Every structure is written in structure tokens, then in C-alpha cells.
């Protein structure tokens, strides 16, 4: 009977210890079992639009408080300690009053267990994107679009228009902010055989000689039926062809809808709803964030020229939280 009583006591002790085991990633072990005091961050992550996001991490059951930090690059924007009362059965939640701008951030959290702070979780990165837009160029408004370089732009009827400049790039961009993951399209029409492009994930540099805008990606066509995709590097605006072929998708000398879908380092390119190319950019010059706009070059020998954009719209692709 004494042995049975002793066995029952030991079993009760094991049950009590198991109930106290915290959750998270590895920081200690006992009797071959993993014990963790490091919370796991869950959200925010990826692309979001909320400038005051909800921060969520896994609960460490023996923790009495938590410390979480938010950074932009190496600059610490928030360092906050909260009690364990912010936690539910599985997750802890906190929405601080800090309002963030459209940029890239990272955050981490640690738990206070047994009178000492544990290690921080791994950083989780997230991007706050500018909101989606739909510009129709109606009612005498450019809807947030502006000249970047080259020739002047104006409103012609219900279109955004430029005649460009000979031997120059002429560019316009949406001034509302930079974008990471998106579905961007514009309906365009041009005279002559010079190319016209959508410009995506663009930087802020303009070349002095030909007013080229870079770095970033160009996707467009000419009225001979060719399309081209270029990656424009940060070092001097050097261009590298990604793909370029003749395609039946181009409506020569008429309106065309150009569309780029970008998620991470993956791109899909469409002309008039026909997928003409998709690729994954693994180069060191890949761009994961930037402005969107349009770009066009005017050959000095061109006898006719004129570029019109009827509408431009972008839908932000948000990461599921």
C-alpha cells in the first residue's frame, strides 16, 4: 500500500509540473522535454496598411510580464513593458498608441519568468504600405500624380498626357507613397513607335543626361507589337533585359492595358489581360519596395509623338494576419 501511495504522489507531482510548462521556442530542457521561455511573434508580418497595428505573440504560461520593441532599421521606436493580463489562453495582444508611417519595420518580444528576463524572440519584419488608389483623371484632377522628370504633363480631356522631350525619358509617378506587394494597372495609348512603360518599385534617382528614372523595373510595349521588361540598376541606371518578344497581346496603335502584379520577388506581367511573362527575381539588385508610375522615351528622330494614360489603379496585396 505504501508503494501504491508513493506512486500516486509521484504521478500527481508530474502532472503539476507538466501544467506549469511554458510554450514558445527552446531555452531549456528537463527530463528530455523542451521547456521554453521565449514567446513567438505572430502578427504583424508581411504587408499591412494599418498604421497602428495589433501586436500578437504566444503566451508563456509562467510569465508575469512582457517587453516588446519596435524598430525602423536600427532606430528603436517603441520599448514597452506590459503585464501578463494582456494575454488570453494562447496569445497575448497589445495595440500601442504609436502611429507608424509607410515604411519597413521589425519587432520582437521577451518574457519575464521566475524573476528574470528571458531571451528576445527573433525579429519579425513587416511593411506598412500606402493605401490602394484608383485614378481616373476626371474632373480636372491629376489625382495625386506628378511629373518625375523629362517633359511636362497635363490633363487632356479625361487622360493624363505628355509630348515628352527629344532624346529624353519622361516620367510621372503616383505621389501617395511606396509599395511592396500590389496589383497595378493602367490603360495607355501612344502615337509613333517609341516605347511606353509601367514603372514599378522605383527609387528616387533621376539621371542627369537623359532624365532616366531608376532603380526599379520597367514593363511596356511599342506599336510594332513588342513588349519588354527591364531591370534598371542602382549604379548609374544600367539596364538589364529580363524578357522581350513580339506578342499578339499588343493592340497596335490603340489603347492597351498594362498590368504588373508583384508579391515579394515574384512578378506577373499582363497586356490586355494576357499573361506575357512571369519571373522570380533572385538578383542582388532586386527591388522589394518603391514608387509606381509610367515612363516613356522619345527618339529625337520621331516624327509623331504623344502619350495618354486614361486611368491608373493599384490594389495593395495584404499579407493574411
Tens of pLDDT along the chain (321 residues)?
Answer: 444 344 444 444 433 333 334 444 444 444 444 457 999 999 999 999 999 999 999 999 999 999 999 999 999 999 999 999 999 999 999 999 999 999 999 999 999 999 999 999 999 999 999 999 999 999 888 999 999 999 999 999 899 999 999 999 999 999 999 999 999 999 999 999 999 999 999 999 999 889 999 999 999 999 999 999 999 999 888 999 999 999 999 999 999 999 999 999 999 999 999 999 999 999 999 999 999 999 999 999 988 899 999 999 999 999 999
* Domains present along the chain, CATH in parentheses: 35-128 (2.60.40.10), 133-316 (2.60.120.560)
Triad 180, 183, 189: Cα angle to 5°: 120
Q: Provide the pairing of β-strand 256-263 with 182-191.
A: antiparallel
Amino acid at each position: 500500500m505504501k508503494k501504491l501511495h508513493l506512486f500516486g504522489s509521484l504521478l500527481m507531482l508530474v502532472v503539476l509540473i507538466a501544467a506549469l510548462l511554458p510554450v514558445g521556442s527552446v531555452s531549456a530542457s528537463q527530463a528530455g522535454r523542451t521547456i521554453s521561455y521565449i514567446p513567438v511573434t505572430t502578427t504583424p508580418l508581411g504587408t499591412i496598411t494599418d498604421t497602428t497595428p495589433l501586436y500578437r505573440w504566444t503566451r508563456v504560461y509562467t510569465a508575469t510580464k512582457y517587453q516588446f520593441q519596435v524598430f525602423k532599421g536600427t532606430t528603436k521606436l517603441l520599448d514597452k513593458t506590459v503585464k501578463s493580463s494582456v494575454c488570453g489562453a494562447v496569445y497575448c495582444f497589445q495595440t500601442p498608441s504609436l502611429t507608424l508611417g509607410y515604411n519597413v519595420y521589425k519587432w520582437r518580444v521577451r518574457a519575464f519568468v521566475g524573476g528574470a528576463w528571458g531571451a528576445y524572440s527573433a525579429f519579425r519584419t513587416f511593411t506598412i504600405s500606402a493605401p490602394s488608389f484608383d485614378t481616373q483623371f476626371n474632373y480636372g484632377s491629376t489625382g495625386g500624380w506628378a511629373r518625375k522628370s523629362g517633359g511636362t504633363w497635363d490633363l487632356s480631356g479625361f487622360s493624363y498626357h505628355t509630348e515628352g522631350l527629344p532624346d529624353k525619358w519622361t516620367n510621372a509617378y503616383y505621389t501617395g507613397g511606396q509599395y511592396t506587394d500590389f496589383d497595378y494597372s493602367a490603360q495607355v495609348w501612344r502615337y509613333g513607335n517609341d516605347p511606353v512603360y509601367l514603372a514599378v518599385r522605383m527609387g528616387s534617382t533621376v539621371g542627369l543626361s537623359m532624365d532616366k528614372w531608376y532603380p526599379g523595373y520597367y514593363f511596356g510595349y511599342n506599336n510594332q507589337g513588342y513588349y519588354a521588361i527591364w531591370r534598371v540598376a542602382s549604379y548609374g541606371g544600367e539596364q538589364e533585359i529580363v524578357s522581350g518578344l513580339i506578342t499578339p497581346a499588343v493592340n497596335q496603335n490603340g489603347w492597351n492595358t498594362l498590368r504588373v502584379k508583384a508579391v515579394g520577388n515574384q512578378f506577373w506581367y499582363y497586356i490586355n489581360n494576357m499573361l506575357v511573362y512571369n519571373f522570380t527575381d533572385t538578383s542582388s539588385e532586386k527591388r522589394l519596395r518603391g514608387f509606381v508610375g509610367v515612363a516613356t522615351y522619345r527618339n529625337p528622330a520621331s516624327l509623331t509623338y504623344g502619350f495618354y494614360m486614361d486611368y491608373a489603379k493599384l490594389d495593395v496585396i495584404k499579407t493574411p494576419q
